[in-house]
């Protein structure tokens, strides 16, 4: 079914935060109108140049023309089920030869067996008649996988080794309404279970499977058993991506802090629930609620551990397969105050950002970005960039923030041209305001795809600038100091812009040396400090708390 949508003529200029060097400017336009999609989950850029999306709750797969916003519904899965916020139609993987002799699309979706959730991976055949596409002839390749109302993960990708990779979360065990359910991320299956097709111990794992759903002969042997399990000890790994050099990266949600970015290697154990982030005994101890003989009578509280429950420090965990994360995002220490009175509520104060997906940037189009990971955030409405070394084995420095809008970011795709980025936004839930201290529920662009395009004219001018300016403190609560480190014959004009491109403050002209100015009269949020000089523009993000 082909449905034509008109595109909104909406344009913003978004500027990236890049420390004290040049910054990049992007034009943002929605692909089609807001609410083009319904509770979307997975975003792929297909070989046909279209954007392929799964709609989690309705079980629909659509193709979107990125230029016109045309919506082409390919299928609505008949036996699909979704009755909670994290089940339903999740991952989508396109065969690399989709438009040639292998027209196959792989989907993961929830269905019911005797009223109980199960997750299924199935292969469909794609056809396209005069622009009206369809998916048909389903073949179930792996069935009866664990499924839950929480932490299903569900990212499905095609690997360079022509195998499928799939993430299964810990099913939300040991927290909230599932607090009496044990976490199985450290539990490995027996040979008898594998022989019988019993996958009950697959939660908290990354799976690797042949295209027909069978177990690859070179999968790791864990606990004496070869299964679909490629790695284990995961919490909620919603992002999964291969770099061109064959390295596999994932991101996963931390409980309150320490969202992880992992380099996934076969047979490795990533520590959950015994370790969160680095094994440093900071801000996390494992309280096992299911260890209580009377768990149902307990009153669950996040961060509490009633007397008599098993409580283990991270340093008590020892496993020869253990691998530390590549990066732990926004880790805090034991004395971190989760009840900051400046925050709208306790949830927004938690340092975790709810990483929903991950992409690799390997283009030369933005030289300073080459060899970076891009982590999309549900909770913060922005993308975090992590710069890698040339081999992709180490994160260099800290995160930088990009593409903030008042939305929940569900998935991100970097176009091969290196100049275009597509971000899928969510429909329900909460995200934070620009300052990170307030909660937003009314999104700017719910359930749509945002297209960010590099403004090459501005970026080229910025890249001629050699980093002449320092700005501190940043973030600030009021005054900032701007230091012009070069000897100058003329002053530079300085202005602050909001994220809608409007000038909100004109600052004193800048000369060589130090200039201090008060910007505390502006509301909390993100602003662009832009200097206009004879050599060209220079700009940087400034945050007011």
Query: Known catalytic residues?
Result: 151
Strand positions, DSSP E, 197-330 = 205-209, 221-222, 225-226, 229-232, 239-242, 248-252, 259-264, 285-288, 310-313, 327-329
295 DSSP 8-state letter: G
Interior/surface letters 107-125, b for 16+ CB within 10 angstroms, e for the rest: bbbbbeeeeebbbbbbbbe
DSSP character for 180? T
What is the four-CA torsion angle of 401, 407, 413, 415, rounded to 10 degrees? Answer: -80
Q: Are 130 and 194 in contact (CB under 8 A)?
A: no
Q: Rounded to whole angstroms, how far apart are CA atoms 356 and 377?
A: 6
Closest CA to 542 of 483, 473, 491: 473
The Cα–Cα gap between 539 and 492 comes to 12
Distance CA 273, CA 370 (A): 33
Do residues 141 and 225 touch, judged by C-beta distance below 8 A?
no
CB-facing half-sphere around the CA of 109: CA atoms within 13 A: 28
Q: Is the peptide bond before 473 cis (omega within 30 degrees of 0)?
A: yes
**Structure tokens given for 262:** 């992992």
Supply angle C-alpha 181, 185, 190, rounded to 5: 100
Strands (E), 337-444: 355-361, 372-377, 383-387, 400-402, 409-414, 420-425, 431-432, 439-440
Q: DSSP label at 476? A: B
């Amino acid at each position: 079914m082909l449905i034509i949508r008109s595109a909104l003529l909406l344009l913003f200029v978004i500027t990236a935060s890049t420390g004290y060097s040049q910054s990049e400017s992007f034009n943002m336009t929605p692909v089609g109108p807001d609410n083009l999609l319904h509770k979307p989950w997975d975003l792929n850029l297909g070989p046909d140049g279209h954007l392929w999306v799964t709609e989690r709750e309705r079980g629909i797969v659509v193709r979107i023309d990125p230029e016109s916003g045309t919506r082409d519904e390919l299928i609505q899965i008949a036996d699909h089920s979704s009755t909670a916020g994290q089940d339903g139609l999740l991952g989508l993987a396109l065969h690399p030869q989709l438009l040639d002799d292998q027209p196959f699309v792989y989907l993961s979706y929830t269905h019911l067996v005797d009223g109980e959730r199960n997750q299924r991976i199935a292969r469909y055949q794609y056809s396209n008649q005069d622009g009206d596409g369809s998916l048909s002839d389903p073949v179930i390749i792996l069935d009866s996988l664990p499924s839950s109302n929480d932490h299903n993960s569900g990212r499905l990708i095609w690997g360079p080794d022509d195998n499928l990779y799939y993430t299964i979360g810990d099913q939300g065990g040991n927290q909230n309404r599932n607090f009496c359910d044990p976490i199985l991320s450290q539990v490995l299956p027996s040979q008898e279970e594998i022989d019988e097709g019993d996958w009950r111990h697959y939660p908290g794992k990354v799976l690797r499977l042949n295209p027909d759903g069978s177990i690859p002969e070179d999968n790791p042997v864990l606990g004496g058993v070869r299964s679909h399990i490629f790695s284990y000890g995961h919490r909620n790994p919603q992002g999964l991506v291969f770099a061109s050099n064959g390295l596999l990266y994932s991101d996963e949600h931390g409980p309150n802090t320490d969202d992880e970015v992992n380099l996934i290697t076969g047979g490795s154990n990533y520590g959950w629930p015994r370790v969160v982030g680095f094994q440093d005994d900071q801000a996390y101890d494992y309280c096992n609620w299911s260890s209580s003989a009377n768990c149902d009578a307990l009153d669950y509280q996040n961060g509490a551990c009633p007397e008599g429950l098993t409580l283990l420090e991270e340093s008590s965990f020892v496993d020869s397969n253990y691998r530390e994360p590549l990066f732990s995002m926004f880790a805090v220490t034991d004395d971190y105050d989760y009840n900051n009175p400046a925050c709208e509520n306790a949830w927004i104060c938690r340092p975790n950002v709810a990483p929903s997906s991950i992409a690799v940037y390997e283009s030369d189009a933005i030289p300073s970005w080459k060899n970076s990971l891009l982590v999309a955030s549900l909770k913060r409405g922005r993308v975090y960039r992590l710069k890698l070394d040339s081999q992709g084995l180490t994160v260099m420095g800290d995160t930088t923030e990009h593409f903030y809008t008042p939305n929940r970011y569900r998935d991100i795709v970097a176009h091969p041209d290196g100049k275009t980025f597509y971000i899928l936004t969510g429909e329900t839930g909460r995200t934070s305001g620009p300052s990170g201290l307030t909660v937003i529920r009314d999104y700017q662009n719910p359930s749509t795809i945002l297209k960010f395009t590099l403004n090459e004219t501005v970026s080229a001018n910025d890249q001629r600038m050699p980093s002449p300016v320092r700005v501190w403190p940043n973030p600030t609560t009021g005054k900032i100091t701007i230091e012009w480190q070069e000897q100058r014959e003329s002053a530079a004009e300085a202005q602050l812009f909001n994220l809608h491109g409007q000038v909100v403050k004109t600052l004193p002209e800048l000369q060589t040396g130090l200039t201090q100015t008060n910007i505390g009269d502006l509301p909390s949020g993100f602003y662009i400090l832009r200097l206009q000089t004879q050599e060209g523009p220079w700009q940087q993000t400034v945050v007011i708390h």
